[in-house]
Amino acid sequence: MSTLEIKDLHVSIETEQGTKEILKGVSLTINTGETHAIMGPNGSGKSTLASTIAGHPRYTVTSGSITLDGEDVLEMSVDERARAGLFLAMQYPVEVPGVTMTNFLRTAKTAIDGEAPSLRHWTKDVKTAMADLKIDPAFANRNVNEGFSGGEKKRVEILQLELFKPKFAILDETDSGLDVDALKVVSEGVNRAQEKNSMGTLLITHYTRILRYIKPDFVHVFVDGKIAEQGGPELADRLEEEGYDRFLKVQA
């Protein structure tokens, strides 16, 4: 079992108005095999947590820690975090002109594992994963995300997740912009990755609809850069009925 541990994390960014603190003391422990859903209103710090774990340079950790099996994640470069077993599915996946999907996937897999995968097995794994995610085989020869729809980009993120086999996946609003069919396909991909690799999942979302397909073990409500409440799946059901008003009234 592996453990991703976040302790009393404070994170700031620089804005035109000066330094702004976004995370104000977040503590969270995730073990492999667990699914944690982070929910909350816009601007509550959910995506900031994801970006900070992944190592986005815009975010400055002013205090607190992030460790993976006792190793200091904050001392790792972005590529070292990936090799250590951290994966971020981005809210807005970027296009990479001039780099084909085939080359990108195999190069990334080689960088993560430290050796190139067997071509015969790798080709089979890629084809199987693409078929499971209903990705057109022709996409393998297209440039990464170039001209892809929002739903296609999200499927490609989960394709990477299935092929790279991380210890922990941070899914930053992976459900945004997906229709019902795409949501089901993407969710099934996440569930497959969890079952095969006992992956830990940190699922960031506004809505409970994805939680019908990816069942959380724990739910954490973010409000104003802090965890306002924690619970099991029943907390997500309550949020579906009540929204975030009761938290925002307390804040006000």
Model pLDDT for residues 39-54, shown as the tens digit of each residue:
988 889 999 999 999 9
What type of residue sits at position 181? Answer: D
DSSP state of 93: P
- For 118-170, the pLDDT digits (tens) are 988 999 999 999 999 999 999 999 999 988 888 899 999 999 999 999 999 99
Q: What is the domain extent for residue 191?
A: 3-251
* C-alpha to C-alpha distance for 159 and 237, rounded to whole angstroms: 29
The pLDDT, as a whole number, for residue 244 is 82
Angle at 22 between CA 17 and CA 28, to 5 degrees: 170
For residue 225, pLDDT beyond 90: yes
Sign (positive or negative) of CA dihedral 83, 88, 94, 95: positive
Number of domains in the chain: 1
User: CA 173, CA 183: separation in Å to the nearest integer?
Assistant: 11
CATH of residue 202's domain is 3.40.50.300
Asked whether 200 and 33 are in contact (CB, 8 A), the reply is yes
- The identity of residue 52, as a single letter, is T
Query: 32 in helix, strand or coil?
Result: coil
